[in-house]
Amino acid sequence: MNGSAAVIDLLVEWDEQRQAGKHVSPEQLCPGDPAMQTELRQRIARREQLLGIFEMPTLGASETAAALPPLPQVAGYELLEVLGRGGMGVVYKARQLGLNRVVALKMILAGANASPQDLSRLRAEAEAVAQLAHPNIVQIYEIGEQGGCPFLALEYVSDGSLAQHLDGTPLSPKQAAETVLALARAVHHAHEKGIVHRDLKPANVLLADGVPKIADFGLAKRADSNQAHTLTGTILGSPSYMAPEQAAGQTDKIGPATDVYALGVILYEMLTGRPPFKGSTLLETIDQVREHDPVPPRYLLPKTPRDLETICLKCLEKSPQRRYASAAALADDLRSFLHGEPINAQSLTLLDQVARTISHHTFDARFRGMANWMALSAPIPITVHVIAYWLLAGQPYYALGMVATTTAMVFTVLPTLLLFGVPTLRLIPAWQRKHFVTVWVGHLSAMALTLFAVLVSVPTGNAVLLIYPIWASVAGLSFLSHATEAGIYYMVAGLLFAFAVVMALTPYWAPLEVAFFMSANMTAQALYLRRLSAEPPPAQPLGAHAATTIKGGA
């Protein structure tokens, strides 16, 4: 995985500090990494610009005429009223004089200052989308320019958007399935033409006598174009409807499966009246999209058909490979559901859920430095304990000597790893860093207190070795608290609890058992983190460079 996820997390921390009224510089966010500082400085500058940009207006939302400036003159069109406006443009209801038909005229006001390259880009992208001819896609009739401002003449849809009709109220399962079925077929048509929408949401679905039509293809990009307009790592789309790969800025993973995810979000909202993820801030929503699993619709509305819930949750898989292979496959399952036939998607079994929990992780290349230190330190515990055993076995002070050896190991190796892991900890979000440090400082404190309690409570001799199963249990609880960051820690915690039982039954050998576990666990974790940080990026899918408007609204 590349460093884009690290930059996104640092942007999250920057926004948290900004909302708290504090200004933090890239140098404070990632000290000692000039390359990341440069990229972060550029991204912060773009983010500050985006904070002042409003979402492009939704077609069908009328404004009060008295509050508007005079309507401009556009050759070949009679402008009738303003449908909506935003910080980047305005949409008019207009009559195309030559054909005497009503259209929606979207004018990009910033175009007056746009470069020739920007105008060329708009024209090339509009021409690509004009090739889409589908009854569930709003058509582009013409692209033109008036007074330096480019405009698009679009099919006029009079009944407003799906977002206006939802208004937080769930629809019937049949109506939801029929609507998303029509949208899925339209999306598949676009994918066949090499175009990925990347901003599907209810506000971009217009209704004409109940027929849904996908809008806002105006800045979509053909997959076979040689122009790369999308910046690597740029977050494109609307947060609540973004796929996880969009929320992470991973443009190399964006393709048809990204639109399938958005269709799943729309289906979820139609079934439950709310999107699966919606935080109090844009960046909180992005974090939820990336890290959290959606609440199953049946938990919110128990009468939701199980098959429709299965279809919805398959669309919302975090991994693109686990979603439907195409929008057509989604449409097929929705058709089967509506006809009372078996669907292809299957609910997760208990084993599937366990495997997914264990495979989940939030680690990436940022943890490679810590992995290297763990690999170097791994042989130390078992080596030192074997030497101590060789020197102390059979001696009357064997138990106290081995406990002293383990204590020295734990209170030397773990703080050393934390110290050398500071550069890594500085790269992760503040909440995650605090959680990590709190858990392991608490772990050391619990070990010290339990050791004190055992030493003052039990008689001398081998009884002091009972501290080892207690320590193993404490360590198991510490790893259990980290399992939300990596599911594999559930397994580590389980092994520690099992080792605690073994140590209680074999106290004499407990020092060597704990030393073996420490070295084996550090080695396994080092290899695990190295593998995660060395995974090559997947091949670029169809339409990975398709682009839509950058939007901050949900």
Domains of the chain: 4-50 (no CATH), 65-155 (3.30.200.20), 162-347 (1.10.510.10), 365-534 (no CATH)
Helix/strand number for the chain, H first, E second: 21, 9
Four-residue CA torsion sign, 373, 374, 380, 381? positive
User: How far does the chain reach from its first CA to its final CA, in angstroms?
Assistant: 27
E-strand ranges in 156-292 read 195-196, 205-208, 211-214, 221-222
Residue 117: the pLDDT is 52
Helices (H), 395-509: 398-420, 422-425, 430-457, 467-481, 488-505
Cβ-contact 87, 79 below 8 angstroms: no
Q: Are 91 and 85 in contact (CB under 8 A)?
A: yes
In which residue are the tokens 């392991």 written? Answer: 440
Per-residue pLDDT of the chain (554 residues; tens, 9 = 90+): 445 556 666 776 776 677 666 777 888 878 777 878 887 787 777 666 444 433 344 444 444 444 556 788 888 999 998 887 654 568 889 999 989 999 998 887 665 555 555 555 556 557 667 778 899 998 888 888 887 778 888 889 888 889 888 877 788 999 999 999 999 999 999 999 888 888 899 988 999 888 999 987 654 555 554 443 444 444 455 788 888 888 877 777 888 999 999 999 999 999 998 999 987 777 778 878 887 888 899 998 888 999 999 999 999 998 898 899 999 999 999 999 999 888 888 765 555 555 555 555 555 556 667 778 888 888 999 999 999 999 998 888 899 999 999 999 888 887 887 787 777 767 666 767 787 788 888 888 998 999 898 888 876 677 889 899 999 999 999 888 877 777 778 888 999 999 999 999 999 999 999 999 999 988 988 887 777 655 443 333 333 333 332 233 33
Give me the helices (H) in 220-367, please. Answer: 244-247, 256-272, 282-291, 297-300, 306-315, 327-338, 350-359
- Gap between the Cα atoms of 151 and 142, Å rounded: 8
Would you say 533 and 363 are in contact if contact means Cβ atoms under 8 Å apart? yes
Please report the pLDDT score of residue 388 as a whole number.
93
> CB–CB of 334/187 below 8 Å?
no
Task: Give the whole-angstrom CA distance, residue 491 versus residue 349.
Answer: 19
Active site residues: 199
Q: Give the DSSP H or E segment for 47.
A: helix 34-50
CB atoms within 10 A of CB 516: 16
* Amino acid occupying residue 360: H
pLDDT of residue 154: 87
